[in-house]
């Protein structure tokens, strides 16, 4: 599983897998109500 720490957005971290060249199982940590 990969992780990406965001900057300047409500979400604090994004976790995801890459299978056969496609992004799958994306999970956003943190966030706001829009």
Across all residues in the chain, what is the average pLDDT? 94
pLDDT of residue 33: 80
| Whole-angstrom distance, CA of residue 34 vs CA of residue 2 | 25
What's the pLDDT at 26? 97
What's the pLDDT score for residue 18?
Answer: 98
* C-alpha–C-alpha distance, residues 18 and 34, integer Å: 27
What pLDDT sits at residue 31? 87
pLDDT at 12: 95
Show the low-confidence residues of the chain (pLDDT under 50): none
pTM of the model: 0.75
Smallest CA-to-CA distance from 29 within 12, 9, 8 is with 12
* pLDDT of res. 11: 93
């Amino acid at each position: 599983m990969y992780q990406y720490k965001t900057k300047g957005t409500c979400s604090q971290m994004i976790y995801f897998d890459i299978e056969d060249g496609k992004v799958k199982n994306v999970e956003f940590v943190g966030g706001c109500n829009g």
